[in-house]
């Protein structure tokens, strides 16, 4: 790994003189993109607090990996069109409808996990698709602004940026109301309980049974 330029760095110009940096160059592109830096830093700090994963999810994680390998080529093909990592696409599919994901059914809306072929009644309401790929492309296209501003690409490895995108996909209700988001952190030590059991309905005692996006 090449060391980054720090604020204390001193660069010697070949034409003479010393150059000192105005910034370290390590600042996320979110700053330039004028997005919420506090929100990005919040998720960055949450990741830093993770030190344990609940072993009860080990079997689920194993099956998640197996399902991904079975359908990897499809996720990769779609993800290239979307401009996001294929693993992220698989995570969204699992989180929106884990049964369809595990079975490789591809029979649901990536938007919200409802069955294809009927008009969606959950957010986003009013969608009608019959094909998983077409619906999935539409769902991710709705996040094109966030994908661009977070500098997400097919090859992205920035965990914080990916979790931020996943959080916008699920909705910022947890962050805005000061709740730990199980969509991201379920199965880790930073999440204990609390879940939106319906659109805009939060239950502090409900516990998310799915594995969170960070682990997956």
For the chain, where are the alpha helices, taking DSSP H only?
29-33, 37-49, 58-70, 72-82, 86-96, 98-103, 132-141, 144-149, 159-170, 173-176, 182-185
Output the pLDDT for position 5.
42
For 1-31, how does the pLDDT look when each residue is reduced to its tens digit (9 = 90+)?
334 444 444 444 455 554 444 433 444 444 4
The mean pLDDT value of the chain amounts to 87
For 189-199, how does the pLDDT look when each residue is reduced to its tens digit (9 = 90+)?
999 999 999 87
pTM: predicted TM-score of the whole model, two decimal places = 0.81
**Statement: residue 37 has pLDDT above 90:** no
**Statement: residue 202 has pLDDT above 50:** yes
Output the pLDDT for position 170.
85
What are the tokens at 103? 């079975």
Determine contact, residues 110/96, Cβ cutoff 8 Å. Answer: yes
For 93-130, how does the pLDDT look when each residue is reduced to its tens digit (9 = 90+)?
999 999 999 999 999 999 999 999 999 999 899 999 99
**Statement: residue 171 has pLDDT above 50:** yes
Determine contact, residues 43/65, Cβ cutoff 8 Å. Answer: no
């Amino acid at each position: 790994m090449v060391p980054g330029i720090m604020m204390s760095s001193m660069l010697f110009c070949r034409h003479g003189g010393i150059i000192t940096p105005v910034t370290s160059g390590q600042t996320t592109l979110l700053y330039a993109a004028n997005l919420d830096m506090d929100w990005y830093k919040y998720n960055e700090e949450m990741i830093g607090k993770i030190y344990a994963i609940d072993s009860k999810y080990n079997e689920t994680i194993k099956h998640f990996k197996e399902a991904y390998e079975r359908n990897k080529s499809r996720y990769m093909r779609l993800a290239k069109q979307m401009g996001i990592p294929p693993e992220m696409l698989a995570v969204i599919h699992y989180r929106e409808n884990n049964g369809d994901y595990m079975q490789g059914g591809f029979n649901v809306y990536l938007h919200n996990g409802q069955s294809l072929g009927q008009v969606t009644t959950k957010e986003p309401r009013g969608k009608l698709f019959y094909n998983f790929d077409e619906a999935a492309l539409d769902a991710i296209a709705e996040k094109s602004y966030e994908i661009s501003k977070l500098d997400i690409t097919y090859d992205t490895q920035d965990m914080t940026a990916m979790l931020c995108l996943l959080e916008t996909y699920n909705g910022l209700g947890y962050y805005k109301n000061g709740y730990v988001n199980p969509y991201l952190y379920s199965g880790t030590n930073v999440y204990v309980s609390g879940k939106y059991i319906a659109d805009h309905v939060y239950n502090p005692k409900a516990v998310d049974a799915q594995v969170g996006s960070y682990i997956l």
